[in-house]
Amino acid sequence: MRGGAAAGGRRVAVVTAGPALVTADMGPGLGERLRRNRLGIVALALLVAVVAALVLGTRAGDVDPLSTENSTPTGARAVAQILRGHGVEVRQVDRLARAAVQDPAATTLVIANPSQLTAGQATALREYPGDLVLLGESGGALAALGLPLTEEPVYLPETVRSGCTDPDAVAAGTARVDLVGLVATDATEVCFIGRSGAGAFARVTDGTRTVTVIASSGIVTNAQLADAGDAALAVRTLGRHAQAVWYVADGLDPTLPTWSGSGSGDVPGRVPSSVDALPDFMPPGTGSALYALALAALVAAFWRARRFGALVREPLPVVVRASEATRGRARLYRRARAAGRAGASLRAAAALRMGRRLGVGRADGRDALVGAVARASGRPAVDVDRLLYGPPPADDAALLTLISELDTLESEVHRP
């Protein structure tokens, strides 16, 4: 019995009872299959890495800044728990229409990140009859609400004393002015004014309600609540009523606030309904899907931009057919819309060929070549000079015309 193996592949000789010898092909080995499917393996590894990063990077619970369910340093869970311990019912909503305030006179409506409010939402909040608290940078919401306040950047954060007569600010004693501050445009009193001239806190009485603005939102966060008098200021400001409706503004939320009056029937308000209380125009998970699509686009761009695997060595010099080089250069000229440069290249090549035909060297100059070509072709020297040294073609149509004319001129020069 005999067995044999073929070079470069895996083959095994199968011996039968007779003299016939049959060679069976066993296929490529594991190493060869891995090399052939290198790109697929890399793509699979990237997919596994992305999924692992998403799973490991997912945090349990809410991580939105200033959210009452967020227990991270940027959240406001601590102040919400303190308020609940003092008997205040804190209810957070993810849509402004879900506020559904039943008694504005006994409810504080808290708007976190008011700079994300739409113009329509800010205008509707101007009609809200209950107390309103703005947390964080307000942007255009101050003007939309008709408040005599503007915001100024704070370049040097500092902890300062109240410096005003507001009872909540006086009880707090000190607070930190950070990132942005408030400046009054009239006689409105601003508290906790730093060296920049901007303050962290202001309260405006607007008819039967008060609008409180805490520009330095860090005062109510879990990270800074225990600093200075932040806890006292936050609890006294947000716990003025038995109920507090908390809304973290979202630029993608177009809904308007809803309320049903003061309970006595004096203020009819905006009665909530099942239609405008739940106006969610996008299905759940839309944001996550958009992030996943963006990540997939980045992976696809990386995949198309890089070629995986070892570089392939090719012996030099490489022989490329003249026709392929000509077509490639023509495509480059066309893609770059370089009709003028293409025309110059064609003129130079035609002049070189005709000069060789007529015995005119490169050093003989323009006049010698034009005269020789004019005598050989029977054309006027002016026409030959225009074709060989005229203005560059402006577009593809002019370039095609020039090519045709140069070809005709060369045929006249090279005729027997």
- At 130-146, the pLDDT tens digits run 999 999 999 889 999 99
Distance CA 297, CA 304 (A): 10
| Cα–Cα distances in angstroms (integers) from residue 281 to residues 119, 252, 372, in the given order | 19, 10, 79
Distance CA 38, CA 33 (A): 8
Question: What pLDDT sits at residue 108?
Answer: 94
Q: How many CB atoms lie within 10 A of CB 300?
A: 10
pLDDT value at 17 more than 80: no
Mean pLDDT value of segment 276-287 = 55
Q: Find the length of the chain.
A: 416
Q: Are strands 243-248 and 107-112 parallel, antiparallel or unpaired?
A: parallel
Q: Report which secondary-structure segment, H or E, holds 333.
A: helix 322-335
pLDDT band with cut points at 50, 70 and 90 for residue 87: very high
Token digits for 352?
A: 């070189």
pLDDT band with cut points at 50, 70 and 90 for residue 285: low
Q: Any bridge partners for residue 44, and if so which? A: none
Question: What pLDDT sits at residue 213?
Answer: 95
Query: Model-level pTM?
Result: 0.55
Query: Are the C-beta atoms of 236 and 168 separated by less than 8 Å?
Result: yes
The secondary structure of residue 101, as a DSSP letter, is B
Question: What pLDDT sits at residue 12?
Answer: 41
Q: Report which secondary-structure segment, H or E, holds 296.
A: helix 286-305
Mean pLDDT value of segment 25-36 = 64
pLDDT band with cut points at 50, 70 and 90 for residue 262: very low
| Cα–Cα distances in angstroms (integers) from residue 321 to residues 23, 325, 328, 333, in the given order | 42, 6, 11, 19
Question: What pLDDT sits at residue 292?
Answer: 84
Determine the angle formed by the axes of helices 38-57 and 286-305, rounding to 10 degrees: 150
The secondary structure of residue 47, as a DSSP letter, is H
Distance CA 154, CA 168 (A): 23
pLDDT value at 245 more than 90: yes
Distance CA 5, CA 17 (A): 20
Residue range 315-334, pLDDT digits in tens:
777 777 888 888 888 888 88
Query: Are the C-beta atoms of 113 and 269 separated by less than 8 Å?
Result: no
Residue range 364-392, pLDDT digits in tens:
888 899 999 999 888 999 999 999 998 99
pLDDT band with cut points at 50, 70 and 90 for residue 201: very high
Residue type, 201: F
